[in-house]
Structure 1
Amino acid sequence: MSRDWADVLKGLGKDVPPVGEDENREAPWELYRDLARTCTEKPTVIAQVGQSLDGRIATASGHSHYVNGPESLDHLHRLRAIADAVIVGAATAELDNPRLTTRRVPGPNPVRVVIDPNRRVPMSHSLFKEADAETLIVTEDMPGALPSHCGMLTASGADGQVVPDLLLEALRERGLRTILIEGGGRTISGFLAAGLVNRLQVAVAPMIIGSGRPGLVLPEIEKLDAALRFETRTYALGADTLFDCRLS
């Protein structure tokens, strides 16, 4: 593990594995140090989306492995290590069967949070089968027993739908201050539309999918005066370009 990454983890107060060779001299260490400072100063929500030039995160059938290159995957795993918890929606958990760990980089695994009010994700999926990290299922009803590393969390409104700010409040009551919203597009869009995202990370791959699932879908606006505008910095991640957008 590189000294740069060790310093980031140390600044976050997280366990630091032994320092060895620099695993990636081209990684955006300045960005990670800045994120670490922000996360120690205040509760922070980071949303991450990987997409094509035409704004697609997957084909129409949901195939997304892989829109982005290996450097972007390393970046995503570093964001997981920075975060205290990582959130995904039921569709992402069901289709992609993710593990949501930091296996590509040194660092601690975040608490895994799955928004699954209708219990779509099969118990055979990795989040339930692999006890690599604490896993919370956001639902009002959990039939049957859960594995020992799993628990249930409620954050629904009167209509039974999960409310983003209630979910963040419930997580912070557990001491989870830095939250990563990883997917899918609908989940990220919900937090973004609610004004709850502090940093939006968009990794853009040099490809055109042409049709498929969009990365972000927000309410329609009539004039560009109502468009979201923010300070943005860009970083090279191999062939991809990362946009670091500061929303607040």
Structure 2
Amino acid sequence: GITRVVVGLRHPLKHLRGKAIQSLRSEGIQVDVVGEDLQSKLFKEALTSCLIVNAPLLYRAAFRVPFSVLKYAMTADGKIAASSGHASWVSGRASRGRVFELRGRSDAVIVGGNTVRRDDPRLTARHVKGHVPVRIVMSQTCNLPEEANLWNVHEAYTIVATQRGARRDFQKKLAMKGVEVVEFDMLNPRDVMSYCYDRGYLSVLWECGGTLSAAAISARVIHKVN
């Protein structure tokens, strides 16, 4: 059987911290905690790795918001999209593959209305084995196309976040397709992040264009740019 367990990091929430360790030790199992029972250069490096891997959980516990990553591709002359407006032509095959990995590790992917209208994305992690994120569209006016890949909820769940009262008839059409519509008194990145926190999300990936990216950065809800 198991005689020893090495714990990389204690749980950040006080009401959960140490309970599993205590339970294991009460059963006679040796439990060593990195940085406490185990201290050396090697274990310090291991602790750093644990902090990086558990960043979403740590941020959520400390700041009561999900850990947010902004996906950002830019050309040498500072452009984030081609003249056609399609950002997919800016990044290469390898970086787009990396995006699927990021999606597979995220609870939700956020885009704005412009991205839906111009790119008609699917926002799935279809090329990697992993978690299927919820897709969130932020649109103040709900000025969105009648047909879009994101309205296919058989691939992944979709939420449209919009301003209260915006295009109620269109909201009903989305609801009939299985899309959840959430109204905000004043739609903004910080309130959407609070909403994501309430839903229990740990990690959120922002795949939006320049306008929404700037708003998210200004609202200080972005923790990492990738």
Please indicate, yes or no, whether the TM-score normalized by the shorter chain is above 0.5: yes
Q: 1:71 to 1:197 in 2, by over 3 A?
A: same
Partners of 1:35 and 1:90 lie apart in 2 by 32
CA displacement at 1:181 relative to structure 2: 0.9
Does the 8 Å CA contact 1:156/1:166 hold for their aligned counterparts?
Answer: no
Does the 8 Å CA contact 2:111/2:209 hold for their aligned counterparts?
Answer: yes
Deviating beyond 4 angstroms after TM superposition, the runs of 4 or more aligned structure 1 residues are 32-35
- Matching residue of 2:225: 200
- Matching residue of 1:154: 183
Does the 8 Å CA contact 2:153/2:179 hold for their aligned counterparts?
Answer: no
Does the 8 Å CA contact 1:85/1:112 hold for their aligned counterparts?
Answer: yes
After the TM superposition, which residues 13-92 of structure 1 pair with which residues of structure 2 at under 5 Å, given as runs? Answer: 35-43=52-60, 44-92=67-115
Q: 1:92 to 1:52 in 2, by over 3 A?
A: same
CA displacement at 1:106 relative to structure 2: 1.3
* Bigger helix fraction: 2
Q: 1:156 to 1:181 in 2, by over 3 A?
A: farther
Q: 1:33 to 1:153 in 2, by over 3 A?
A: farther
Q: 1:166 to 1:130 in 2, by over 3 A?
A: closer
Structure 2 unaligned blocks of 5 or more: 1-48, 61-66
Number of aligned residues: 166
Partners of 1:191 and 1:55 lie apart in 2 by 19
Q: Is 1:137–2:137 an aligned residue pair?
A: no
- Matching residue of 2:132: 109
Does the 8 Å CA contact 2:106/2:204 hold for their aligned counterparts?
Answer: yes
Does the 8 Å CA contact 1:131/1:149 hold for their aligned counterparts?
Answer: no
Partners of 2:185 and 2:100 lie apart in 1 by 29
SS in 2 for 1:179: strand
Partners of 1:177 and 1:147 lie apart in 2 by 29
Q: 1:34 to 1:80 in 2, by over 3 A?
A: farther
Higher RCO, Cα 8 Å, sep 6+: 1
CA deviation vs aligned residue, 1:144-189 (integer Å, no higher than 9, x gap): 23245310112342xxxx2211111111111122111111111111
Partners of 2:134 and 2:208 lie apart in 1 by 15
Q: Percent identity among equivalent residues?
A: 27
Does the 8 Å CA contact 1:85/1:178 hold for their aligned counterparts?
Answer: yes
Q: Is 1:186–2:202 an aligned residue pair?
A: no
Structure 1 unaligned blocks of 5 or more: 1-31, 202-248
Q: Is 1:96–2:127 an aligned residue pair?
A: no
SS in 2 for 1:42: helix
RMSD of aligned alpha carbons: 2.0
* Bigger strand fraction: 1
- Matching residue of 2:197: 172
SS in 2 for 1:58: coil
Query: What TM-score, normalized by structure 1, do the two folds share?
Result: 0.62
SS in 1 for 2:140: coil
Partners of 1:111 and 1:67 lie apart in 2 by 25
Opposite residue 191 of structure 1, the aligned amino acid is A
SS in 2 for 1:45: strand
Does the 8 Å CA contact 2:82/2:89 hold for their aligned counterparts?
Answer: no
CA displacement at 1:33 relative to structure 2: 7.7
Q: 1:156 to 1:180 in 2, by over 3 A?
A: farther
